[in-house]
Homo-oligomer: A and B are copies of this chain.
Amino acid sequence: MSSAPDRPLAGVRIVEISSFVAVPLAGMTLAGLGADVVRIDPVGGAADYHRWPLTADGVSIYWAGLNKGKRSMTVDLREDAGQRLVQQLIAAAGVFITNAAGRPWLSHPELAAQRPDLIHLEVTGRADGTTAVDYTVNAATGFPLVTGPAGADGPVNHVLPAWDVSCGLYAVIAVLAALRRRDTTGQGSAIRLPLDDVALATAANLGFLTEALVTGVRRPRLGNAIYGQYGQDFTSSDGVEFMVVALTPRHFRDLTEVTGTTAAVDAAAEAIGADFTDEGQRYRHRDLLTGLFAPWFAGHTAEQISAALARSSVLWSRYESFTDVAESPRVQGNPLFTLIDQPGVGSYPAPGLPMTVDGTHLASAPAPDLGQDNAAVPAEWLDR
Report the separation of the CA atoms of residues A313 and B47 in the bound assembly, to the nearest whole angstrom: 15
Establish whether residues B196 and A330, one from each chain, have CB atoms under 8 Å apart when the complex forms: yes
Residues in B neighbouring A20, C-beta threshold 8 A: 247
Q: Does A55 contact B (CB under 8 A)?
A: yes
Residues 148-190 of A contacting B (Cβ, < 8 Å): 148-149, 154-162, 165-167, 169-174, 176-181, 183-184, 189-190
Residues in B neighbouring A183, C-beta threshold 8 A: 183
| Contacts A176-B176, A193-B355, A204-B331 given; does A132 touch B315 at CB 8 Å | yes
Report the separation of the CA atoms of residues A346 and B214 in the bound assembly, to the nearest whole angstrom: 8
Binds B, one of A88-96, A226-234, A375-383: A226-234
Establish whether residues B214 and A181, one from each chain, have CB atoms under 8 Å apart when the complex forms: no
Establish whether residues A139 and B215, one from each chain, have CB atoms under 8 Å apart when the complex forms: no
Interface SS of A by simple majority: mixed
Establish whether residues A206 and B21, one from each chain, have CB atoms under 8 Å apart when the complex forms: yes
Q: Does A334 contact B (CB under 8 A)?
A: yes
Residues 322-338 of A contacting B (Cβ, < 8 Å): 322-327, 330-331, 334-337
Residues in B neighbouring A235, C-beta threshold 8 A: 154
Establish whether residues B330 and A200, one from each chain, have CB atoms under 8 Å apart when the complex forms: yes
Candidates B28, B162, B203; contact of A325 at CB < 8 Å:
B203
Instruction: Give A68's nearest chain B residue, CB to CB.
Output: B205
What is the CB-to-nearest-CB distance from A366 to chain B, in angstroms, rounded to a whole number? Answer: 12
Report the separation of the CA atoms of residues A61 and B219 in the bound assembly, to the nearest whole angstrom: 14
Instruction: Give A336's nearest chain B residue, CB to CB.
Output: B197
* 4 nearest CB pairs, A to B: A52-B228, A142-B322, A169-B169, A139-B243
Binds B, one of A36-44, A258-266, A296-304, A356-364: A356-364
Establish whether residues B201 and A353, one from each chain, have CB atoms under 8 Å apart when the complex forms: yes
Establish whether residues B142 and A173, one from each chain, have CB atoms under 8 Å apart when the complex forms: no
Establish whether residues A140 and B320, one from each chain, have CB atoms under 8 Å apart when the complex forms: yes
Report the separation of the CA atoms of residues A278 and B331 in the bound assembly, to the nearest whole angstrom: 33
- A selection of 20 A-B contacts at a CB cut-off of 8 Å is A8-B177, A47-B248, A50-B279, A52-B280, A127-B336, A140-B317, A140-B325, A142-B324, A142-B325, A154-B235, A156-B156, A158-B162, A167-B354, A171-B355, A173-B173, A190-B358, A204-B351, A209-B326, A212-B325, A219-B322
Q: Does A370 contact B (CB under 8 A)?
A: no
Report the separation of the CA atoms of residues A211 and B158 in the bound assembly, to the nearest whole angstrom: 19
A-B contacts besides A131-B313, A148-B148, 8 pairs, CB < 8 Å: A9-B177, A136-B317, A140-B319, A143-B158, A143-B159, A160-B162, A197-B334, A210-B350
